[in-house]
Amino acid sequence: MKLFAIFLCFLGSVLIYSSHANQHIFKTPLTKKFFYLGVVLVCVSLPLLIYALPKLVAILMWCMTLIVTWSFIPFIPLLKRYIPYEDAIRSKDTT
Protein backbone atom coordinates (compact mmCIF):
# COMPACT_ATOMS: atom_id res chain seq x y z
CA MET A 1 0.00 0.00 0.00
CA LYS A 2 2.86 2.38 0.84
CA LEU A 3 4.62 1.85 -2.47
CA PHE A 4 1.37 2.25 -4.38
CA ALA A 5 0.69 5.57 -2.64
CA ILE A 6 4.22 6.80 -3.30
CA PHE A 7 3.87 5.78 -6.94
CA LEU A 8 0.58 7.69 -7.20
CA CYS A 9 2.21 10.76 -5.69
CA PHE A 10 5.17 10.47 -8.06
CA LEU A 11 2.95 9.99 -11.11
CA GLY A 12 0.71 12.88 -10.08
CA SER A 13 3.64 15.22 -9.62
CA VAL A 14 5.07 14.25 -13.02
CA LEU A 15 1.71 14.94 -14.65
CA ILE A 16 1.43 18.31 -12.91
CA TYR A 17 4.93 19.27 -14.04
CA SER A 18 4.40 18.03 -17.60
CA SER A 19 1.26 20.09 -18.04
CA HIS A 20 3.00 23.36 -17.18
CA ALA A 21 3.95 25.72 -20.02
CA ASN A 22 7.59 26.02 -18.88
CA GLN A 23 8.41 22.31 -18.93
CA HIS A 24 11.09 21.14 -21.39
CA ILE A 25 10.54 17.39 -21.44
CA PHE A 26 7.99 17.44 -24.27
CA LYS A 27 7.75 19.84 -27.18
CA THR A 28 4.27 20.93 -26.12
CA PRO A 29 2.86 20.73 -22.60
CA LEU A 30 0.15 18.25 -21.75
CA THR A 31 -3.45 19.42 -21.67
CA LYS A 32 -5.20 20.74 -18.57
CA LYS A 33 -7.02 17.46 -17.98
CA PHE A 34 -3.65 15.84 -17.21
CA PHE A 35 -3.00 18.62 -14.71
CA TYR A 36 -6.29 17.87 -12.96
CA LEU A 37 -5.56 14.13 -13.07
CA GLY A 38 -2.19 14.80 -11.45
CA VAL A 39 -3.80 16.89 -8.72
CA VAL A 40 -6.29 14.10 -8.05
CA LEU A 41 -3.52 11.48 -7.88
CA VAL A 42 -1.47 13.59 -5.49
CA CYS A 43 -4.53 14.23 -3.31
CA VAL A 44 -5.48 10.54 -3.28
CA SER A 45 -1.97 9.47 -2.34
CA LEU A 46 -1.98 11.44 0.92
CA PRO A 47 -4.91 9.59 2.56
CA LEU A 48 -3.44 6.29 1.38
CA LEU A 49 -0.15 7.14 3.03
CA ILE A 50 -1.91 8.29 6.21
CA TYR A 51 -3.79 4.98 6.28
CA ALA A 52 -0.61 2.91 5.83
CA LEU A 53 1.79 4.90 8.04
CA PRO A 54 1.76 7.13 11.10
CA LYS A 55 0.45 10.58 10.23
CA LEU A 56 3.68 12.52 10.62
CA VAL A 57 5.69 9.98 8.63
CA ALA A 58 3.02 9.92 5.91
CA ILE A 59 3.01 13.70 5.52
CA LEU A 60 6.82 13.77 5.47
CA MET A 61 7.00 11.06 2.79
CA TRP A 62 4.33 12.82 0.75
CA CYS A 63 6.14 16.17 0.91
CA MET A 64 9.53 14.62 0.21
CA THR A 65 8.18 12.75 -2.81
CA LEU A 66 6.85 15.99 -4.25
CA ILE A 67 10.04 17.92 -3.48
CA VAL A 68 12.38 15.28 -4.93
CA THR A 69 10.27 14.78 -8.02
CA TRP A 70 9.94 18.48 -8.79
CA SER A 71 13.64 19.01 -8.07
CA PHE A 72 14.96 16.36 -10.45
CA ILE A 73 12.42 16.37 -13.31
CA PRO A 74 13.81 19.62 -14.82
CA PHE A 75 17.15 17.84 -15.34
CA ILE A 76 15.68 15.11 -17.56
CA PRO A 77 16.22 17.10 -20.80
CA LEU A 78 19.93 17.24 -19.96
CA LEU A 79 20.07 13.45 -20.12
CA LYS A 80 18.67 13.33 -23.65
CA ARG A 81 21.31 12.54 -26.21
CA TYR A 82 22.10 15.42 -28.51
CA ILE A 83 22.50 14.34 -32.14
CA PRO A 84 24.00 17.24 -34.10
CA TYR A 85 22.87 16.03 -37.50
CA GLU A 86 19.20 16.11 -36.44
CA ASP A 87 19.17 19.89 -36.71
CA ALA A 88 20.69 19.76 -40.18
CA ILE A 89 18.06 17.27 -41.35
CA ARG A 90 15.22 19.40 -39.99
CA SER A 91 16.54 22.57 -41.58
CA LYS A 92 16.74 20.89 -45.02
CA ASP A 93 13.24 19.48 -44.77
CA THR A 94 10.95 22.19 -46.14
CA THR A 95 7.75 20.18 -46.45
- In this prediction, residues 12-39 reach a mean pLDDT of 92
User: How far is Cα 9 from Cα 38, in angstroms, rounded to an integer?
Assistant: 8
Total domains in the fold of the chain: 1
Predicted confidence (pLDDT) per residue in 26-84, tens digit: 888 899 999 999 999 999 999 999 999 999 999 999 999 999 999 999 888 888 776 66
User: How far is Cα 12 from Cα 33, in angstroms, rounded to an integer?
Assistant: 12
Q: What confidence category does residue 14 fall into, taking pLDDT thresholds of 50, 70 and 90?
A: very high
DSSP letter for 28, please: S
pTM of the complete model beyond 0.75: yes
Domain that holds residue 79: 2-92
Listed in sequence order, the residues at least 6 apart from 65 whose beta carbon sits closer than 8 Å to its beta carbon are 6, 9, 10, 13, 45
- In this prediction, residues 13-19 reach a mean pLDDT of 95
